[in-house]
Structure 1
Amino acid sequence: MNLIGIKAIYRFEMARWGRTLWQSLVTPVITTSLYFLVFGSAIGSRMSDMAGIDFGSFIVPGLILLSVLTQAIMNASFGIFFPKFTGTIYEILSAPLSALETVTAYVGAAATKAVILALVTLATATLFVDVKVDHPLLMLLFLVVISVGFCLLGFAIGIWAKNFEQLQVIPLLIVTPLTFLGGVFYSIGAIGEPWRTVTLLNPILYLVSGYRWTFFGIADVPLWSSVAVMAAAILAPLAAIIWIFRSGYRLKN
């Protein structure tokens, strides 16, 4: 394992994130704060409890994942896309780094950023609503696993994308809508058929539900199904990345 090479890429990516801290950290936190002001304070005060929990507190796990999923994909995809765009990808491919070491460095840095963003967002939420975490260690574990899964997805997107427009297609047109429709602001027990069944087809629901369980001990779906979706969120993009490095798809041409 080339730890020096992994550390070099990791430090470079974290330094790049530090130079764009306003866009990468401050802006998402401000956006999330606006959600708390609108949905937690203004609208939430007029709504009944959701699944027996104050509405403002209920939406905290979902809003954290709403920020994390988008930023995890964007950070990981841009991290590998930019070397492709500038042509320095060939220096990385020719370096004494295996595919596993390259992915570990880029995905590790992107996942670190996502976890930091989530913890800052959680701290921000405590300024607006009462937040309790029934299972803090599991909350961190779920957060890390979900972050790694979507960073792997972002890494694959970064290799697939040919331009900046393609880089944003999946996060903006697929992931973000699915997240909004995945139980961020509601429990599926509050909606009727056929929308409840349709919502159960949304994989993001299982991530939000499992993550919310670590806060309040309640879930819309069985916990094992959330764990299964988290495992799939890691294995599916990982399989795609393995194939990409073996075939050289959009890496060597």
Structure 2
Amino acid sequence: MFTAVVRITGAGRLADFRERLRWLLVRDPDAEDYSEHHEGAALEYRFRPKKGIPFPALTEASGNFPELRVEAQWEHDGVRGRAVIENGRLVEEERGEPAAAGVEIVAGDEGRLDLALICERQDAGWLGYAATAERHTYFRYRDGALELVDPSAADDALEEIAFRLVDEWIWYDEEEAQTERARYAQYGYPVRGANLKSEKLALLRRRGERYSTLDPAAGEVREALIAQWLNRA
């Protein structure tokens, strides 16, 4: 899977940058679908590309707005990377080793999301995100200690990890999601706050309502999260 997040920040003309990038992408025959998000003094673009991140358009737009910083982070088949563009030039680039990340998904009666968990190693610890049908949390784990992070206090690294889990597995009641709602009605399942995507429900049925790709080393993280968060609802 290929996922990417591009953030535009700086004390500059974000609205003008947005229009310029949109103009460039509309005219790019290789451009792919993306979603656009506004977070205070920042723009964020999320991609699930098949061909690649549109770096030529991002670089050209950056050259028109030298006061802004363009930062791209991606994961492609488990390998993570990062690039920063300023004033139309690549100023930073990192390509990492395959990420030690995994997920665990547990479904309950009537397709209820009992647990969705993503956990990724960082340095000597772990970062992650967990959700149920009713609530969610970010977390850090290091030296045997679990730190729960309120969603309002999550940093970019935590949000990027959560985005990867949600983008693949979850849809929310606040979304229009007509196809998902129709399938849930067909199954006779109620729609809750957070819901498993219908295509994933079929996978879970084949696997006995549980799916896990967690690294064995993440087992203690999972146990701490269950004891200190999931079972304390």
- TM-score of the superposition, structure 1-length normalised? 0.26
Which structure has more relative contact order (CA 8 Å, sep 6+)? It is: 1
Higher strand share: 2
